[in-house]
Amino acid sequence: LLQVSCFGLRSLAPLCRFQVGGLNAHLKLTKFSQEIRVLHAAAVDESFHARFSAVGREYVYRLYCWPPHLAESPFHGWPGHGHATPFFESPRAWCLNSDEALDVAAMQEAGRHFVGEHDFTSFRAADCVAHSPVKEVTSLRVDTVECAGPAFGHLAFPGTPMVTITIRARSFLHRMVRNIAGALVAVGKGTVAPGKVPGIIKARDRSRAPSAAPAHGLYLTKVFYREQDLRGI
């Protein structure tokens, strides 16, 4: 949902031509016209770097528990809907086909083990190029949001709980958030006990941790900067 980027100009004089409206008008002419919108643009000091000046990032992972008996809905069999999935959420969240809700309390208990500074090798992608696997997670929250089900004519889907995993750190290893989300879902399903998480972290072995959650449930929601770096933003 939120990405920050920066680029250089030879002078500030043409800056007005690069305001939000102009940037979005240009994007309409590209293949990204439906995927990307610029929300804000401003001049910053030339020492500012969108990636390296960041002092924190927040990601949210979205999960949707969808009862399998709804596979007989009119949308079953549509492209991308070979399994029972909520029509609007399937491309935007990890839709779990299950009559049993995730054990959110167990996920919250497990999530507390990730907070703090750890060697996250067990939750690091094989192709990660970070110099060190040590990262500090400053907060991790697992919440349940009641979502009203959409209605299509005579067909009304019941409200189904959305589970969100919100995690903050200065920086993350490649695929770290998805790997943590996958582990928390395994806890929520009861296949991994919350008390096993510290041992998985200490093992520093990716094969000891559950599979990664799919990419389409992951969202970057906030990027944090020092106040002095935001002058002009």
Helix (H) or strand (E) holding 202: helix 197-203
**Cα 99 from chain centre:** 24
Q: What is the DSSP letter of 75?
A: T
The rounded percent of the chain whose pLDDT value lies above 70 is 76
pLDDT score recorded for residue 154: 38
Q: Whole-angstrom Cα distance, residue 92 to residue 71?
A: 18
Q: What is the band of 226 on the pLDDT scale with cuts at 50, 70, 90? A: confident
Q: Which residue has the higher pLDDT, 227 or 88?
A: 227
Q: Whole-angstrom Cα distance, residue 64 to residue 66?
A: 6
Q: Which residue has the higher pLDDT, 24 or 157?
A: 24
What angle separates helix 104-111 from helix 176-189, to the nearest 10 degrees?
140
Helix (H) or strand (E) holding 137: strand 134-147
pLDDT score recorded for residue 89: 55
Q: What is the band of 22 on the pLDDT scale with cuts at 50, 70, 90? A: confident
Q: Which two tokens stand for residue 44?
A: 């910053």
- pTM of the predicted model, to two decimals? 0.81
Q: Which residue has the higher pLDDT, 58 or 16?
A: 58
Q: What is the mean pLDDT of residues 163-170?
A: 96
Summary mean pLDDT of the chain:
82
Q: What is the mean pLDDT of residues 94-104?
A: 82
What are the backbone dihedrals phi and psi of residue 111, each rounded to the nearest 5 degrees, phi first? Answer: -60, -30
Does residue 149 surpass a pLDDT of 90? no
Does residue 66 surpass a pLDDT of 90? no
Q: What is the band of 33 on the pLDDT scale with cuts at 50, 70, 90? A: confident
